[in-house]
Amino acid sequence: MKQVNILMMGGKRCGKTTVLASMYGEINKALAGTALRLEVEDPQTEQELVRARASIARKMEDFKIPLTRVEVDDNPTSALKTYSFRLVVEGGSRIPFKIHDIPGEWLTDSHQREVKNLVKECQVIIIAIDTPYLFSKMTSKGYGIYHEEYNKPLEIANFFKNSLSVENVEDRMILFVPIKCERYYHLTNTPQLNICKRNYMQELIDAIGCGYRDLLMYLRSTAALVNNCTMAITPILSAGGIDFVRFRTDAETGKVISLYQEPEFLHEYEQGYSPKFCEQPMIYALIYILLQELGEAAAPKRFGGGPKLFRGMNQTQMVMAVETLRKKLKRNTGNHPEDGFYFIQNPKDL
């Protein structure tokens, strides 16, 4: 592959652009000490990220009024959106770094072929999960009542099972990224609120297990997948200082309305726009891609060995970048997840 390609899928309007804007604000701190830096490539990407940031910042102001309503936006864009970045290697060489955001409907309609072709080009697939829909209004199935409708887990599973071959997915990293985790993170970490001492971030892992059961079973169904496909859960607080509180159905329109408010008991430095963990999926992705590249570089020349993607970097720089990023990677210790971070399968030993 000549460029880094990451595919993002998930329910509509779940907050993907907002997460990308927060990620971009943080990733270069994580890359400090490596020979790499991420930059925006085109003005349109820049504009979109600025707009998403302004929108969430405006919301943070609105949420100072308790129980501010957010209505589910019914006007999602129905086109593929590509965010163009570049990885700049010390010394000047540039690696195109693209994040493709596909509308959820594309998994079931006539665009399936296009998505399939896109998957072939992508090293990493991100499944964005709207966490309140997954976790709130819990049912006996182990996930929330709105999860199937809004996060589309069945459509995602069917797409993987029916439209992709094992070769399409086996050498990939698949990240489950629960976004808007504020409420559950703050509840877990605020003793005044967590009277039953529950670890909501840990419970989130079980909810993902139940909510994406079909997909997970499929991705673990053959030796080829188990031995090659990397899977992890990397939760995100896309905005920081706002908590989802509950859903309400509007009596007149029948629409589901989410209620948000400023969290209680937050330290001053956590109030307002203070996203957390947004850089983590990119750290996971970069380590994975660097390791893949190092693996190929180690392959004998006649099999086309030697770094292709990171041509401007020598092997030592690549190894050092992996080591630096590894130190910043949030991960589970043994079977114990940390803040909901959890490797489901880690065959490449990240």
Ligand X SMILES: Nc1nc2c(ncn2[C@@H]2O[C@H](COP(=O)(O)OP(=O)(O)O)[C@@H](O)[C@H]2O)c(=O)[nH]1
Write out the residues near Mg ion by the rule CB under 5 A: 16-17
The position carrying tokens 């190929």 is 296
Torsion angles phi and psi, residue 17, rounded to 5: -65, -40
Judged by phi (left if over 0) then psi (alpha if -120 to 50, else beta), residue 287 lies in: alpha
Taking the complex as a whole, the smallest distance from the CB of residue 22 to ligand X amounts, in Å, to 9
Q: Taking Cα atoms as reference points, which of 116, 130, 127, 129 lies closest to residue 161?
A: 116
Name which of 17 and 317 has its Cβ closer to ligand X: 17
Taking the complex as a whole, the smallest distance from the CB of residue 14 to Mg ion amounts, in Å, to 9
Name which of 19 and 31 has its Cβ closer to ligand X: 19
Taking the complex as a whole, the smallest distance from the CB of residue 346 to Mg ion amounts, in Å, to 29
Taking the complex as a whole, the smallest distance from the CB of residue 175 to ligand X amounts, in Å, to 16
Taking the complex as a whole, the smallest distance from the CB of residue 59 to ligand X amounts, in Å, to 5
Residue 303: CB atoms within 10 A of its CB come to 8
Torsion angles phi and psi, residue 346, rounded to 5: -135, 60
96 binds, among Mg ion, ligand X, none (CB under 5 to 8 A by kind): none
Return the residue nearest ligand X (CB atom): 15
Name which of 86 and 180 has its Cβ closer to ligand X: 180
Name which of 17 and 151 has its Cβ closer to Mg ion: 17
How far apart are the C-alpha atoms of 115 and 162, rounded to whole Å?
13
Name which of 238 and 324 has its Cβ closer to ligand X: 238
Taking the complex as a whole, the smallest distance from the CB of residue 239 to ligand X amounts, in Å, to 4
59 binds, among Mg ion, ligand X, none (CB under 5 to 8 A by kind): ligand X
176 binds, among Mg ion, ligand X, none (CB under 5 to 8 A by kind): none
Taking the complex as a whole, the smallest distance from the CB of residue 151 to Mg ion amounts, in Å, to 15
How far apart are the C-alpha atoms of 32 and 176, rounded to whole Å?
26
What single letter denotes the amino acid at residue 104? Answer: G
Torsion angles phi and psi, residue 43, rounded to 5: -60, -30
CB contact set of 27 (below 8 Å; sequence gap of 6+) = 38, 279, 282, 283
Torsion angles phi and psi, residue 277, rounded to 5: 70, 5
Taking the complex as a whole, the smallest distance from the CB of residue 221 to ligand X amounts, in Å, to 29
How far apart are the C-alpha atoms of 206 and 217, rounded to whole Å?
14
Q: Give the pairing of strands 124-130 and 4-10.
A: parallel
Residues found near ligand X in the complex (CB under 6 A) = 13-18, 52, 55-56, 59, 70, 73, 76, 180, 238-239, 242, 260
221 binds, among Mg ion, ligand X, none (CB under 5 to 8 A by kind): none
13 binds, among Mg ion, ligand X, none (CB under 5 to 8 A by kind): ligand X
99 binds, among ligand X, Mg ion, none (CB under 5 to 8 A by kind): none
The position carrying tokens 């880094």 is 4
Q: Is residue 111 a contact partner of residue 119, using CB atoms and an 8 Å limit?
A: no
Name which of 17 and 188 has its Cβ closer to Mg ion: 17
The position carrying tokens 């990620």 is 23
Name which of 18 and 292 has its Cβ closer to ligand X: 18
Taking the complex as a whole, the smallest distance from the CB of residue 306 to Mg ion amounts, in Å, to 37
Name which of 5 and 258 has its Cβ closer to ligand X: 258
Name which of 133 and 218 has its Cβ closer to ligand X: 133
Radius of gyration of the chain (CA): 20
Half-sphere exposure of 209 (CA within 13 A, CB side): 11
Query: Could you tell me which residues are beta bridge partners of residue 8?
Result: 101, 126
